[in-house]
């Protein structure tokens, strides 16, 4: 029998919901490498976008999300992953909530955001081209 929190949510329900509505950089990269193509939305500012972004991401700043998302995601059942800077930024959480309240059913938040994508050594696109940083040993395995 699952135990419940004071709010009445079981640990099983809580963690299952997290895995349904969040993904991490390694899992998103593996999903994309396997041919799955969720729409990836970068909800940071223009300055953040210029600094670097996930390959294939669409720039849609949080303050324009509600007005402009229909142009890039007309299907409410399309898989969408949103990201912001990193764990210290709740922009992706806000964006995911906006999308969910608009009726989007398959929204996930990229936990760790852009910061952990970079720290795991995954490819990044800048205005100057594509690059990759060495993995941070505190965020991803390194070595042979």
What are the sequence ranges of the domains in the chain?
22-131
Going by their DSSP bridges, the two strands 129-131 and 124-126 should be labelled as antiparallel
18-71 tens-digit pLDDT: 999 999 999 999 999 999 889 999 999 999 999 999 999 999 999 999 999 999
* Half-sphere exposure at residue 143, Cβ-oriented, CA atoms within 13 angstroms: 3
Fold of 22-131: Oxidized Rhodanese; domain 1 (3.40.250)
Beta bridge partners of 83: 42
Beta bridge partners of 89: none
64-112 tens-digit pLDDT: 999 999 999 999 999 999 999 999 999 999 999 999 999 999 999 999 9
Whether this prediction's pTM lies above 0.85 is answered by yes
Task: Check residues 52 and 142 and name the one with the higher pLDDT.
Answer: 52
CB atoms under 10 Å from CB of 43, counted, come to 29
């Amino acid at each position: 029998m699952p135990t419940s929190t004071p709010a009445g949510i079981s640990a099983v329900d809580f963690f299952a919901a997290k895995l349904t509505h969040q993904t991490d950089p390694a899992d998103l990269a593996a999903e994309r490498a396997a041919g799955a193509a969720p729409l990836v939305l970068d909800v940071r500012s223009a300055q953040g976008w210029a600094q670097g972004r996930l390959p294939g991401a669409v720039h849609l700043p949080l303050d324009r999300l509600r007005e402009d998302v229909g142009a890039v995601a007309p299907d409410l059942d399309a898989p969408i992953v949103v990201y912001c800077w990193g764990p210290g930024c709740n922009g992706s959480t806000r964006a995911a909530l906006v999308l969910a309240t608009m009726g989007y059913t398959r929204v996930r938040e990229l936990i760790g955001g852009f910061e952990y994508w970079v720290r795991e050594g995954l490819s990044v696109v800048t205005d100057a081209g594509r690059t990759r940083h060495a993995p941070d040993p505190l965020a991803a395995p390194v070595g042979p």
